Amino acid sequence: MTTLFDPIQVGAWQLPNRVVMAPLTRNRSPEAVPQPLAAEYYSQRAGGGLLITEATAISPTAQGYADVPGLYSEDQLDGWKKVTDAVHAKGGRIVTQLWHVGRVSHVDLQPGGAKPVAPSAIVAKTKTYLIKDGVGSFAATSEPRALDAGELPGIVHDFRHAARHAVSTAGFDGVEVHGANGYLLDQFMKTGANKRTDDYGGSIENRARLMLEVTRAVAEEVGGQRVGIRLSPVTPANDVNDEAPQPLFDYLMRELAQLNLAYIHVVEGATGGPRELDDRPFDYAAMRKAYRDAGGKGVWMVNNGYDSREMAEQALAKGADLVAFGRPYLANPDLVERLRRDAPLNAPDKATFYGGGAKGYTDYPPLAQSQAAA
């Protein structure tokens, strides 16, 4: 039986185990620049098979939350290089998640106070995170404007450009395209956010077009074996939905199978919530089969609510190759060792999830220290 601690080849990387650190937004990058503390945070967790960074904006207009990092300036790339160097010094592997939030933003976060961009001018009934006078708070998203078709090649270029510099300048082992959780690429995919009548709206093929153009461009730029993609077929996160997700994602899988990607990262159910949604049934096994039947070789990563070794290894037994851990990794920098020993996990401090400094970020005790204090 496959265990979490068996090595695996994933694209260009040989991973020592199948535990993945899921991307976790922490809002600790003022001016969108990763700070030295981030190097400590990620390197503490380098024992995982693969680390996926917090979502990282590909351009100024891609920003949607205060103090999240970017990949579009020299200072940002320099900040990330310190992170990757620290992770690599401990033998870890790290990829960055390429992010465009689309309509999940606020005019205060956009260049010149402009409207956020989206497939259609439909407000997302959700909130973003702002920091004013040093105080963080959640605020309703702003009304977006619909992107003109002529602007979409620029979006593809921004993803390509960010991927190139993530690998060649910042030293990441690869990148993950963020196609999930109601952000721009997911907005184009789903009928609840996309009411376009041009070549990027209407049919399944049209709505999937931008997702595929971006992923293809990124794979061409850095090599498909250094690229993963994150998808969330039925999550209601950020007010997104689709009237028929199964055929949509089965089609997407058949197309992605041609790109020689390292992995497919699937959020099962509602992001951060229930894994089964009565009003949004979905067959993940059929989705995986569509990918495999079309020749897709990338490994299959599952995510959402995995919080124990037993649960994760059940997923491996059902066909998953990697398991991404979110909140457990947040509070347990030595998560792999704790899972290996079936040791108790630190509980995360929710008050420190977003914004702040070392508290609730780099000060969670490792196992040896926890046992000594017991």
Residue 20 and residue 52 in contact, taking contact as beta carbons nearer than 8 Å = yes
* CA–CA distance, 98 with 56 (Å, rounded to integer): 5
3-state secondary structure of 11: coil
The question of whether 183 is a catalytic residue gets the answer: yes
Catalytically annotated residue among 183, 284, 291, 306: 183
Which residues, other chains included, contact 214 with Cβ-Cβ below 8 Å and sequence gap of 6+? 155, 156, 159, 177, 179, 185
Amino acid (one-letter) located at 159: F
Question: Strand 322-325 vs strand 19-21: parallel, antiparallel, or unpaired?
Answer: parallel
Separation CA 344–CA 93 (nearest Å):
25
- CA 27/CA 34 separation, integer angstroms: 10
DSSP per-residue codes, 343-361: PPPPPP-GGGSSS-SSTTT
Which of the residues are catalytic? 183
